A and B are shown apart, each in its own frame.
Chain A
Amino acid sequence: MVQAVNDGLRTIMKEDESVLVMGEDVGPKGGVFLATENLTKEFGKERCFDTPLSEDGIIGVGVGLAMNGMKPVCEIQFQDFIYPAFDQIVSEAAKMRYRSGGQYTVPMTIRTPYGGGIRGGLYHSQSGEAYFAHTAGLKVVIPSTPYDAKGLLISSIMDPDPVMFFEPKALYRAGREEVPEGMYTVDLSKVREVTQGGDAVVFCYGAMVPVCTEAARRIKESRNKDIRVIDLRTLMPLDEEAVLQAARDCGRVVMVHEAPRFCGYGSEISALIAENAIEYMEAPIKRVTGFDTPFPNTLENYYLPDARRVFDAIEEVLDF
């Protein structure tokens, strides 16, 4: 996936001169995950450059660039480090269009690796998507495949509003697939049906998609039930109609994310279904999530939802 991100950046930088890549170590080094590898070489240090170690500065300067005709792609090295820039993201980028009545806008993309699975402990593993999905004015996008990573990234960069682009670092070097050369986009706000089925639906995104797909496969194998796995892809704005349709079709719902449960994104999905499709529910809506604790290090595999936990939750809703 990390190569797809790199390819996406290269493709859009060729297409659009106003696209700039900036962040810590994104230049000659090519980023700590090599997502920006060779971009400085290819486009020069005016288009892809290292910045001082200051998240607030990266985003604050990015907001200024975006307001004045550029399309900055700011990298925050780990999502865990984004909080110094929270003010610039939430109070500035997200609200600029609104507070200026559309006079000033911020077409900026913030790329950041998120989530566990690399033995990163509590400061290299966080999943903070809910903070941003809660903020009006931001879009929140999380790919789970190389194809989507490139297509969604290009769509995000071309989007007229600020986009939080969360990259599941656990999948950077996992799932491999051929990615088409050149420009293509994947629509924001459209879910992806990963597997077909009508016995229960599992909603997930990012690194949880392969976990849920595996759980669905095991259910099929052991009980011959068809589980629909839906990759939400864009958390804000959400493709609500698709979520409700899947919920109505299946009547049994499991929501999976690695972020903590309390006020997590799964709460929103659960509430959405409860408000709009309760009479189709054959069983309670189950959430499989990280625990309501900081992210552990040594015991991270016990914290992260895995296929077995998802499998159990699907069984629970099937057997209700």
Chain B
Amino acid sequence: MSDTLQIIDESGKKVGKAPRLKRETLLRMYRAIVSTRSFDDRCMKLQRTGRIGFSIPNKGVEATSVGAAAALDAAQDWIAPHYRDFAMMFYLGIDVNGMFDNMFGNADDNAVGRQMPVHFSFRDPVNWLSISSPLGTQIPQAVGVAMAMKQRGEKGIALTTFGDGSTSTLGFHSGLNFAGVFGSPVVFLCQNNQWAISCPSEEQTASESYAIKGEAYGIPGIKVDGNDVLAVYRVVSEAVKRARAGEGPTLIEAVTFRMGGHSTSDDPSRYVEQSEFDAWEKRDPLFRFETWLKSEGHLDDEKIAAIRAETDAEMMAAAKAAEAKPRPKLGTIFSDVWEQMPPHLDAQMNACISHFAERDEAVDEKGEFPL
């Protein structure tokens, strides 16, 4: 378990056998990481100017997200994600406009402005389960999703992601236990970014690693360098292959580092030593992947600059578009609770709408009437 698989080392040099990937795929992986940095940057600025309420920085963990995403078949696999996997979304081609609609909670948001930002939910181009704030709840759900596919004889698998903190939840235990017992086609990907908000890994568990916890459930546990996009890709690919072949679940621990706060409301300098930041800065997954791609002749500085400019512009445009959209209508407070609105709720909705219409407060800050 002490062996952590690595293919590209911290200096960007190849130290293991690289998986065979097309140049196009490699560049798509690279672009997903760069997009995530642009997205993060845009969201931070939107939040600091009060235009959105909240965001989750993703800097540092992108290689884990992208390496895993590249191992999936979006057409049939399901993802039960946690909230720090933006790069996975970019790799899978989830619409950035839809992501910003959620950040602003506008009328086009799939969550209809009901959730905080970053609680994405998508059906296309992949089943990206609605993200929950309570931690670990998605883990047994992924097992259920996988069991349904197995039951119907489908080849899809479920990937569920979670942080190191979530390994302490009830969901982690029951999810892994059920998957072990039922041999469900699930891949459990633990993004060990060292910190659960301010709780360090050594205070989260007394186990020698997170990967070793699989053993207790009869599930293989594998530890991988989470900042090495190719290593993550390889490990997740193998786990996916096992699951598809009916050989059961796998637990993967990707060792990485959250190079920012837990959220936009968090100040990590209160609890993370600067020396730790500095140490991990040297292992930055973007730098590492970029260096390797350059050495392989897939990228040059000019192209890098062009991609960065493009993703920055893309995020700026998507943010402005989402900001310009109206808020959801007032009635959406009441819809989607049940498939059919019961009479008591209908009465509450009507009372609410006429109340705010009478108070002349039904016009929102953009001068729109959300009724």
Contacts and interface: CB of A to CB of B under 8 A. Distances in A.
> Do A and B interact directly, with beta carbons closer than 8 Å?
yes
Interface of A: 20, 46, 51-52, 54, 56-57, 59-70, 72, 84, 87-88, 91-92, 96-105, 136-137, 139, 160-161, 189, 237-238, 240-241
B110 interface: yes
B337 A65 contact: no
Given A57-B143, A57-B174, A237-B345, 16 more contacts: A60-B174, A61-B140, A61-B143, A66-B144, A68-B148, A69-B148, A91-B134, A92-B132, A99-B132, A100-B121, A101-B336, A103-B110, A103-B130, A160-B339, A161-B338, A189-B342
A167 B132 CA distance: 30
A104 B336 CA distance: 10
Interface in B129-176: 129-130, 132, 134, 137, 139-149, 151-152, 158, 170-171, 173-175
B336 A54 contact: no
B297 interface: no
B344 interface: yes
Contact of B137 (A88, A104, A139): A88
Nearest to A90: B134
9 contacts: A52-B174, A60-B139, A65-B147, A67-B141, A87-B170, A96-B130, A101-B114, A103-B130, A105-B339
Given A60-B144, A101-B110, A52 B339 contact: no
B119 interface: yes
Contacts of B251: none
Contacts of B151: 20, 46, 70
Contacts of B111: 99-101
Interface in B284-343: 336-339, 342-343
Contacts of A97: 336-339
A131 B155 CA distance: 39
A231 B55 CA distance: 49
Contact of B121 (A66, A88, A103): A103
Given A92-B132, A101-B111, A104-B121, A238 B344 contact: yes
Going nearest first, the 3 A-B pairs with the smallest beta carbon separation are: A64-B144, A60-B140, A57-B174
A139 B174 CA distance: 25
A61 B144 contact: yes
Given A52-B178, A60-B139, A87-B134, A99 B342 contact: no
B123 interface: yes
A68 B140 contact: no
Contacts of A87: 134, 137, 170
Nearest to B347: A240
A52 B180 CA distance: 10
Nearest to B109: A101
A161 B343 CA distance: 16
Contact of A139 (B143, B148, B175, B338): B338
A51 B178 CA distance: 8
B343 A98 contact: no
B119 A99 contact: yes
Which among B109, B112, B342 has the highest number of chain A CB atoms within 10 Å? B342
A229 B355 CA distance: 37
A64 B336 contact: no
Given A56-B171, A99-B121, A238-B344, A92 B147 contact: no
Contacts of A104: 121, 129-130
B83 interface: no
- Residue from B123, B146, B151 whose CB has the most chain A CB atoms within 10 Å: B151
B263 interface: no
Contacts of A98: 114, 336-337
Contacts of A103: 110, 121-123, 130
A64 B143 contact: yes
Contacts of B178: 51-52, 54, 57, 61
A56 B145 contact: no
B330 to A, nearest CB: 15
A238 B345 CA distance: 11
B80 A64 contact: yes
Contacts of B86: none
A73 B165 CA distance: 31
A69 B148 CA distance: 7
B115 interface: yes
B78 interface: yes
B368 to A, nearest CB: 19
Given A88-B140, A103-B123, A65 B175 contact: no
